[in-house]
Each structure stands twice: as C-alpha cells, then as structure tokens.
Amino acid sequence: MYMEENKVLTNALRSHRNELNGMYQKFIDPILLPLKSVISKDDNKILKTLELVHNYFGADRNIDSIIRDYRVDGHSLILNKNSEWSPLNKLNTNWSAASILVSELINTYYSDRIDDIVNDLKYKKFGYLEKTLENDILSIPGIREKILSHILNDQEKFVKHIRRPSSQGSEGEDRVEMFVKKEYGYNTIYKGGDGDFIDMKLGIDLIMEKNGDYIFTQVKSVNSIEIIVRNNTYYYEIDGNVSLPIWRLRYVNCVGYYDQNNKEVIFSENNKYYTKIGNKWVLKSGLPIPNGIIYVEKK
C-alpha cells in the first residue's frame, strides 16, 4: 500500500518541471513499457506526416530515426480496453501527474529524505533526488511491477491531471485552427489529437497549407491578448508565461496563442517583438515566446 503524496515535496518538484522532465521520462518510461502495444500503420497518416515534416525542415538525425523505426517496426503506445489511446501515455511528461507519483514513491520508501530533497531543490540541486529514484527505489526487488500496479489501480488520480490541460489544449487548437482558416485562408493538413504521436514526438499541434506554403504550429494558452498602439504602431500585447523547451520548437515555424476571452493570434519566425530583459525593453526577432508581457508588432 502506497503512502499519499507529501504535498511539500510535490510542490517543490512541480516548481522545477523543466529541469526534471528528462529525469521523469528516464524513470517512468521503463515502468510503463509492459502496457504498450504496437500501433497500426494501416492508414499511413503518421508516416506521411513525418515525411512532410522531414521534407520541409531537411535532413535531421532525430526525425530520420523516427521515420526508419516507424517504417520497420511501428511504435508502441498505451491503449485502453477499447484499443484507443490512453492518457497514461503522458504520465512521463505531464509534470503535475509525474510529480505526484514521484512524491508518493519517496514518501513510501524514503520519507526520511524528503526534507533534504526539498532543500536541495530550492538551490536547483537534483543529484540526491536522482540517486533516490534511479539507484535506490529502482533497486528494490520487483519494484517496477509494484509501481505499475499502483499506477493502474489508482490511475484516475493521475489521469485527471493529464486530462485537464489536454482538454483545454484541444479546445485551443480548434480555435487557432479556425482563426488561421478565416484570417489567412490556410487549409488543415494535420491536426493532432490528445496524446497524438506527432505531438508527442515532434511537438507539432497543427500543420496547415496555402498555395504550397506550410505552417507547423505549436499552440499554447496565454493570460490575455490585446491590441495596443504605441508611436503610431500597432502591437499585440501578449501576457503569458509559456514554457516551450527547445525540442518543442525544433519542428515548428509558428506559434499560436489563445486566451480565455475568445481571442486568438498566430506568429511566425519573422515577427519582431519587444521583451523585457532586466529593466530594459529589448527588440528581438523570431518566434515570440512570452515570459511575462511581450509586445509583438502587428503586420
């Protein structure tokens, strides 16, 4: 029987979601492996999309490897009893659900270490946490099977944290898709579903096309989107705190944002925007990623 999460530890883990993402995946992936089934390649939708991305962005070791593996062996995912995608596929990358699982495990097996781990996290020291997970917990006989059984028996607890942002994200993708169709006349070539293979592997939510021009878009929510005027120039004022690791920008040339007031916008790599660095506003060019408020020139 597993102990409940230690909320102090859980919150400390959640505050370092970007730094701990790789550690979570390394720890959780082998545990989930027995649940995975090979996905069907019959309709070739995934392969065609992979090749489209490959042709646009050029030769790349990562995507070449994915295409090669997919052609030969297919890829495995966790499926539910109806042979549909399971939200548990995102347990290894959903920082909220993964933090709860890790907190429960440490509270069960090494509760005497919690104070030291929390203190280390304050100073961005992750070695003791990694040792506890990789060396100590995983060395317990039969532990992978025990953890997997725990995940399955209590999966709704983890799934609710995965579904909440996923359902919001799906709505956001719908809104940005309709905005781009209406405002710019692009047609949808690919749209990922919740936990879709392309989104999981490449970080692409939408692929749209117009007269041979393709846009590969990552969609994110922000707090607000407003249009303002400064020095006779129109700007989008974007207020948000968007976390986009470098790997999620590797195969995108656009970012789409939406807020809770039914406003949407999309930006390309060629946008100019002002962002605050220290006490100064700095003009930059590229994909505008807000960490606070940014001002993007309206074309």
Q: What tens-digit pLDDT sequence spans the chain (299 residues)?
A: 789 999 999 999 999 988 998 999 999 999 999 998 766 555 467 778 888 999 999 878 888 877 776 665 556 778 777 666 677 888 988 889 999 999 999 999 999 999 999 999 999 999 999 999 999 999 999 999 999 999 999 988 998 887 755 555 578 889 999 999 999 999 999 887 555 667 777 889 999 999 999 999 999 999 999 999 988 999 999 999 998 877 778 899 999 999 988 899 999 988 999 999 999 999 999 999 999 999 999 98
Q: What are the backbone dihedrals phi and psi of residue 150, each rounded to the nearest 5 degrees, phi first?
A: -65, -45
Buried b (16+ CB within 10 A) or exposed e, 133-169: beeebeeeeeebeebbebbeeebeebbebbbebbeeb
Q: How far apart are CA 54 and CA 43, in angstroms?
A: 19
Quote the pTM value. 0.64
The set of residues, in sequence order, having a beta carbon less than 8 Å from that of 263 and lying 6+ positions away, is 224, 225, 226
- Return the bridge partners of 240, or none: 292
Q: How far apart are CA 70 and CA 76, in angstroms?
A: 10
Nearest to 13 by CA among 2, 4, 24: 24
pLDDT at 120: 97
The set of residues, in sequence order, having a beta carbon less than 8 Å from that of 193 and lying 6+ positions away, is 85, 170
> What are the structure tokens assigned to 149, written together?
């059984």
Q: How far apart are CA 182 and CA 201, in angstroms?
A: 29
Nearest to 133 by CA among 97, 108, 158: 108
pLDDT at 44: 60
pLDDT at 72: 57
pLDDT at 39: 61
